[in-house]
Every structure is written in C-alpha cells, then in structure tokens.
C-alpha cells in the first residue's frame, strides 16, 4: 500500500493498495480512529513509475473538498 498524507491534513489521505489495482481511494480518519473510504477514483492509464503515481495521488487529494 502507498499512502499520500499531506502534513496540512493529517485526517485525510489518498491510498493505493497495490497489485493490479487501478483505484485511488480518498479516506478520512473517523471518530474511532479508523480510516473510512469516502471516494474512489479509477485511473484510466496507470502511471509508469512511483513519481507519476505520487503526482496522481497528490492531484486527486487537491480535488477533494
């Protein structure tokens, strides 16, 4: 699993669970301190390296309310 969790928002993160998954998940930390999925984005074309995947995760996080 790769996680994008910016310092300015420690209660929200973007995750990619690895393997053949083409989905990024927007998750928030709930009152029980469990991560809860709020939104999912399917990547049309999967990034070719980790740097591109990180950029996709960052862009997706910036689009969230």
pLDDT digits (tens, 9 = 90+) for 14-51: 999 998 889 999 999 999 999 999 999 999 888 888 99
**45 secondary structure, DSSP code:** S
Amino acid 22: pLDDT = 92
Q: Say if CB 22 and CB 42 are below 8 A apart.
A: yes
Provide the pLDDT for residue 15.
95
Task: For residue 24, give both structure tokens.
Answer: 């990024």
What is the pTM for the complete model shown? Answer: 0.86
pLDDT for 44 equals 87
DSSP 3-state assignment of 63? Answer: helix
Distance of CA 45 to the CA centre of its chain: 16
């Amino acid at each position: 699993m790769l996680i994008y969790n910016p310092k300015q928002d420690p209660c929200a993160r973007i995750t990619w669970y690895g393997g053949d998954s083409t989905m990024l998940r927007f998750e928030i930390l709930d009152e029980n301190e469990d991560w809860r999925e709020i939104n999912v984005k399917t990547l049309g074309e999967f990034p070719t390296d980790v740097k591109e995947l990180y950029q996709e995760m960052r862009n997706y996080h910036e689009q969230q309310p």
